[in-house]
Structure 1
Amino acid sequence: MTTADIATLAPKHAPVRTYLERPSKPALRLPPGACDSHVHVFGPADRFPYAPDRPSTPIEAPKEALFALHRHLGISRCVIVQSVAHGMDNRVVADAIAAGGGRYLGVALVRTDIGNAELQALANSGFRGVRFNFMRHIAASADIAAVLALTPRLAQVGMHLQVHFESALVHELGPQLARSAVPVVIDHMGRVDAREGAAHHDYVALLRLLESPLFRVKVSGIDRIDAQLGAADGYDAGIALARDLVARFPERCLWGTDWPHPNHTHIPDDGVLVDALARIAPAPALLEQLLVRNPAEFYRFDA
């Protein structure tokens, strides 16, 4: 995959930005069936319009660019997370799932009062969960009571709950999320500040949550939770926490690139993120569990 190849997938009016440049080729060879459990797709806007109330407008990152990236990185499975840029119109993700030949699944954005028929239709088209944001810079926070009231209906259609929250909210939201009727996936290691280390009270609260088998955590975002973003240390602080989580909870961690890295201070090299896995899951069996077994079982790729 060359820069020119990917650049042809960008809208003609948009400049080729950093995420469209060729990522490095990872030195780490991923196991067969490796899954990128957290990405987004954007556009093309003429087919999949952006939400009128979106907080920002991303450069288009269509499914073709995503598929090309995964071929380059050696990734064969993926979970696409609907973005607030497209709001609750989940067609852009559904389209990518349909084109993915069973290797791509999705997580939707929905209203808490979504109808049962619509929820079942999402499940039938390859959506395995729904996501709610508790991030002030992205969107208004969901009502946690309404989210929890939705979870019995998620259970009926085989979906899980995915949450994205600011790190300080772990203390408030954690005990409430423990009442969910379905498994709960926590995005990006709870957005803790990795520079504070494993003793910080937000991270300790995250560990307490993960002692319950109800919870999963995505060890994505080593480039987001390290406040020295883009530093030459290669995200050492973020890697250290991800490695700690995988060592403590090997059966309940998932990993993703977070491509194309929206709402970020910089665009990381996806090849570097893949190579960081050699430090996050240093044993072959641990890497296989993180990238293959955990997502295959949790997302039910073979269902």
Structure 2
Amino acid sequence: MTGWDCHAHLFGPYGRYPLAADRSYTPPEAVQEGYAALLKRLGLGRGVLVHPSAYGNDFSLLLDTLAERPAWRGVIVTRPGELPTLAGLHARGVRAARFSQRSGAGGNFAGSASFDDLLALAPALADAGLHAELWTDCAALPALADRLRALPLPVVIDHMGGFDLAAGVSQPGFQTLLALLAEGHVHVKLCVYRNLPGLALTAEAGEAALPFLAAMLQANPDALVWGSDWPHLRVQPVPDAAQLLAWMKAGAGDDALVRRILQDNPQRLYE
């Protein structure tokens, strides 16, 4: 089992790892044993834990888990001035810091770091051997594109770039994402369901989303990774990660491409 799930979150147990008082949501517990069981069910051996904004700047759960699970990797959330140094995080299994720049009324969650924070921290992240991960969407992306091109470190875009399914692959923001992919400026996590109506991977929605996957594969198959987004926060009904993985594999349609997405590409980013 050498494949990677590049996007998951842990919560709790809350008796040991309480959430931040200032948070935007309160999820049920999702502990490391549950995630390990998911990886085994999916036939994957490696996982990437993304620090949730609901924990603020307390990385205890993430770092403790990485110490116990050396095959896993971590992504922190931090802002300028919050950490005395980024040095040493790579040796503890951390590979990136996550930032958010989302359009719409919801904006960024409490405890998240902004795109401006990314711009300020980019040199220090690069010096520490870390990359950046960005939760954004196709409505916001065109205004960010030139600054993304100028960054001195790799950038991984979450959730397939937050495309608008109804607007189709010709929407300007998605075309911007494809250009950034083709130019080698970004990687993209192939986690599809948050772009779908009702956040559900129905047969109809899955079929409608396949052109977006095909366009990304054509743009740059060496810059794509897959993530389950376990434990699927604020979503009912809860998606089946096995179904999400099967959708990606069917859309790729080629064992060699699937191997690049699940193994070769994430190995370069996270190993």
What TM-score do you get using the length of structure 1 for normalisation?
Answer: 0.82
Aligned to 1:108: 76
What's the % identity of the aligned pairs?
A: 33
Task: State the shift of 1:116 in Å.
Answer: 4.8
Structure-1 residue corresponding to 2:245: 274
| Corresponding position of 2:167 | 196
The within-5 A match list for 1:133-212 is 133-135=100-102, 136-139=106-109, 142-212=113-183
1:99 aligns with 2:68: yes
**d(CA) in 2 for partners of 1:213 and 1:245?**
12
Moved more, 57-66 or 238-247: 238-247
Instruction: Say how many residue pairs are matched.
Output: 266
**Post-superposition offset of 1:193:** 1.2
What whole-Å deviation, never above 9, does each CA across 1:97-156 have from its counterpart, x for those lacking one? Answer: 1222x3100110112224453x12322211000001123354167453442121111111
Partner residue, 1:76: 45
The equivalent residue for 1:42 is 11
Deviations 1:169-197 (A, max 9, x none): 10111222222111111111111112322
Q: Deviations over 1:59-78 (max 9, x none)?
A: 00011100011111111111
Distance 2:127 2:188 in 1: 23
Secondary structure of 1:80's match?
A: strand
Contact conserved, 2:79 with 2:121, CA < 8 A, in 1?
no
TM-score (norm: length of structure 2): 0.91
Match of 1:255 among 216, 226, 250: 226
Counterpart CA distance in 2 for 1:58 and 1:228 is 19
**1:113 maps to amino acid:** G
Superposition RMSD in Å:
1.8
Whole-Å Cα distance in 1 between the matches of residues 140 and 130 of structure 2?
A: 24
* More off after superposition, 138-147 vs 182-191: 138-147
Structure-2 change in CA distance of 1:224 and 1:298 (3 Å): same
SS in 2 for 1:106: strand
Q: Cα 1:131–1:177, aligned 2, differ >3 Å: closer, same or farther?
A: same
Q: In structure 2, what is the Cα distance between the partners aligned to 1:146 and 1:110?
A: 8
Structure 1 equivalent of residue 88 of structure 2 = 121
Q: Deviations over 1:255-296 (max 9, x none)?
A: 111001113353111121121122232111111001000011
Q: Secondary structure at the match of 2:53?
A: coil
- Candidates 183, 200, 212, aligned match of 1:241: 212
Does structure 1 residue 131 correspond to structure 2 residue 102? no
